[in-house]
A and B are shown apart, each in its own frame.
Chain A
Amino acid sequence: MSAANSVVITEQSGLGLAAVMSRKGVRPAAIGAALGLAPSEGPGRVGDARLALIGTGPGTWLALTEAPDPDWSLQLAHKLTGLASVSDQSGGYMVFRIGGNGARALLQHGAFIDFHPDVFRQGSAATTVIAHIGVILWQRDDTPTFDVATFRSYAHSFRRWVETTAAAL
């Protein structure tokens, strides 16, 4: 791996994660009004470290907080009573942060979507597969830094894919 293609991967620990699925007929704006942000209607990330919603499908989001209270998902469910179902996924997913100037090329080796900065930029998100492993990924900033969420039981395999692929960049 050359310095021009460095990749830095870190496991994000202590996150709060939850799947949010809006009830029939509830518009994204109503979800947003209850949570104090305007969630993306498409595959995108909106929010901050306190609470971010990543679009995973029509009316569905992955909610993420970097500083969860122990009853975080219950608080979220309470705010969304009658609007959406909330299921805690904090133990279900592992989130990897992938940065460095080789990060984009690395992900482009794995996912069949276009990572060119003209079409995939800060706030963009996608639910897809890398090396047959289901992932939800989004771009945090233009450094660029990406976050990749994968089912926790696949985390070891995903990390091995990153390491072998990064070595070939």
Chain B
Amino acid sequence: MRISCPYCGDRDAHEFVHRGDAAPRRPTSDDGFYDYVYLRDNIAGPMREHWYHAQGCRNWIVVARDTRNHQMSGAVLAREASR
């Protein structure tokens, strides 16, 4: 599987660390913190995921991927996605 890093370009998946669903947002209080830290949806279909380019530019990126066929429809730096 190749992942298109916004900075480095197309790279083999083994350069990356996979974190999973990028949807959870940090809660402002303790309520919901367990869900935020531990619970990740495991979607069959298109989803946005966090990947860390550990063996490249060392940036977190948000990748739009269809988990059924690994088709990628885009990737942005996580710091830009969170704006």
Contact = CB atoms under 8 A, between A and B. Distances in A.
B56 interface: yes
Nearest to B80: A58
A134 interface: yes
Interface size range of chain B in the complex: 10 to 19
B77 A128 contact: no
B23 to A, nearest CB: 23
Interface string A77-116: 0000000000000000000000000000000000011000
Interface size range of chain A in the complex: 10 to 19
B8 interface: yes
Interface string B57-83: 111000000000000000001000000
Main secondary structure of the interface of A (DSSP, over half): strand
B30 interface: no
A42 B8 CA distance: 8
B12 A127 contact: no
Nearest to B59: A57
A56 interface: yes
The residue among A42, A112, A126, A134 with the most chain B CB atoms within 10 A of its own CB is A112
Contacts of A128: 8, 11, 15, 55-56
A8 interface: no
A16 interface: no
Interface in A32-80: 42-43, 56-58, 60
Given A57-B58, A127-B56, A134-B55, 4 more contacts: A43-B7, A43-B9, A112-B11, A127-B57
